[in-house]
Chain A
């Protein structure tokens, strides 16, 4: 182990975490918190930052010490800054770990001001955030020689025929922000185009469908081209939304090297997740790059590389050495738990913005 143990630290470390949400597509917040609790032991105070009153982890009082509501990303940087200033006066947060794609833009924008308040982060740049966006992924892959599914951004339904000729069926039709549909023939493609256009606007992304095994990789990189931890996980049980509900760590140098190549090419800073498809010919395609830890991140700690804790150390400026050893064959099997609370707690959070 290269990370110095903090188990006996005397000063309480205060870490703020977002992404406390959970439905069939859970946020990474709770996984991050659990890994931090494992990694830091006592003298750790976790501050939850929530957008909604029903983000489930808010009510897990043994995991989250205190929760504050923060303004939606749509309210802008200034509103977020003001709210964090208020919270900081009370809580003296040392490190903040954002876990939502949609909020990252604002947190990155506030990076320096947070540091002035005494809040450290370890985040990618706006440029890195934009480069891995699904609209730009093809260009990113081409530029760095990384295999990505052939895709094209289109603005008119008339371009679909041409794309179908080029890529063949099935095709994946994706919305600008969210949602994807797999279509088998052109009439379905038209239907998907109109539906996604109505919901998310243009452009629409048309992507080659790749059949294979779904693998996710959780990684942590230092912003100078080096990965400090890579944990590949094969999905074993997949929800309707394509999320892993159970998964297993696997050992494969090809996957590790791919994550390293990604971090080197992008100079990625912070946690990331690569969604990989391995086809029959053992080719690895990067389907998507998530600019944060995945919801299953606790598995990294269980397998021997506690990425959230390493990230905190990086944010604090502590020396962190690359980890390479981990246990293959560790599994996570997700479980949903009905936590019981009183309506008063919910009302309190709704009205006062903290709990």
Chain B
């Protein structure tokens, strides 16, 4: 019986400068995802492949909802389409009771296509086309106004078509965190928000039903949400008291972080990132103490995306080659790069090997397959010795990658959903040349 082989390697013992920022190590192999073997997934769907866990998505959603509902009586989540708008994913959230939060015309149509009732679609963003706005008015969707030009346009449209729009305004303010996202919505401190509210109140065909804010992304401070909630509440109470216009809801937006580790962070995200419970506590307490009558408490809407899906997504990939760089460092080339793992730009993703391996590890640079120098997944990571064809699993990739990915040099791979019975389903086919060329037109004179 021959012994198991491992490539010979040596490692210099550390004698250099003391290093306050040691390297992270994640050695436990991940041989299956939700009971489905990684090698079976690759055999069936190819490599690379994105894998989503339905079980985890539902678990995240239910836990987040519970965190808020145990603290505040009226809570509604609206799935942030831009985070991951694969229809299968959206449908899971809608089944759980989530509304839709969209930021463009095509996302709006996607939500309708997924069977979401018009009045349960929140329409955000600075770019809403006139035709989209008309459709949203007719469907009684909640239109969140971003700027004065949009406000005036809406007033015009409602007069022209003689229909009432249900609107809210997006408000931005100083919550003590930077940068202030003051490019979206109306500023609170300089009175712009109040001016906008007054204009809506005076318009015949505009019904002000709520207030919206979205203070940032990957927010690590729960206190900032308390400040945001307090300012929204003040504004809402002012609407009621001065304009006799009580509001139905406050939309605190999204921005809760997942447990990914940001590049440059000293401690891992799993240990430092506040939980949804922490955010729920800060937001709920603030609204409950703001001074609303108990029977007039507004509905609390949350547009969480990342925190509900990031850790339900995996990217499986394979080693294309190993090489040694001119300075002696080890490099590993993988079949996925920043083209499909966009988030590697700001996270140090946890990466596991997909099979049991030896104790010995080496420091390596992880490159993607693109012929571009910037295609680096990790500048330095300790990994067991990998060979060509070995699989790796990247963790917590469910948010934004499947919407921000780019078709560049390579096609985008398949996306698979593992259902709650550990059965895998293809939810997006891998792209092919026909798909890619479908929209192309070659002028006749170039055809010969």
* Chain A residues in the interface with B (C-beta under 8 A): 21, 23, 51-55, 71-79, 102, 105-106, 109, 155, 177, 201, 203, 346-347, 350-351
Contact = CB atoms under 8 A, between A and B. Distances in A.
B60 to A, nearest CB: 20
B271 A74 contact: no
Contact of A201 (B21, B23, B178, B264): B264
Given A23-B18, A52-B18, A54-B15, A73 B264 contact: no
A128 to B, nearest CB: 16
A74 B272 contact: no
B325 interface: no
Nearest to B12: A350
Nearest to A347: B13
Given A51-B22, A72-B23, A155-B178, A105 B13 contact: no
A76 B14 contact: no
A21 B267 contact: no
Contact of A350 (B14, B23, B179): B14
Given A72-B22, A75-B22, A155-B178, A106 B14 contact: no
Interface in B271-289: 271-272
A147 B21 CA distance: 33
Given A52-B14, A155-B179, A177 B271 contact: no
Contacts of B178: 155, 203
A54 B266 contact: no
Contacts of A71: 22, 25
Nearest to B268: A76
B154 to A, nearest CB: 35
B423 interface: no
B21 A78 contact: no
A350 B18 CA distance: 14
Nearest to B265: A74
A78 B18 contact: no
Contact of B266 (A52, A102, A109): A102
Given A52-B14, A74-B24, 13 more contacts: A51-B22, A71-B25, A72-B21, A72-B22, A72-B24, A73-B267, A74-B268, A75-B25, A79-B25, A102-B20, A102-B266, A105-B271, A350-B14
Nearest to A350: B13
Given A74-B23, A155-B178, A105 B18 contact: no
Contact of B270 (A52, A78, A201, A347): A78
Contacts of B13: 53, 346-347, 350-351
Given A105-B272, A109-B271, A155-B178, A74 B22 contact: yes
B21 A74 contact: yes
A78 B267 CA distance: 12
Rank and list the top 8 A-B pairs by shortest CB-CB distance, nearest first. A72-B22, A76-B268, A350-B13, A77-B271, A155-B178, A76-B271, A52-B18, A74-B24
For B20, B21, B179, which residue has the most chain A Cβ atoms within 10 angstroms? B20
A75 B22 CA distance: 8
Contacts of B23: 72, 74
Interface string B249-274: 00000000000000010111011100
Contacts of B272: 105
B19 interface: yes
Nearest to A52: B18
Contacts of A53: 13-15
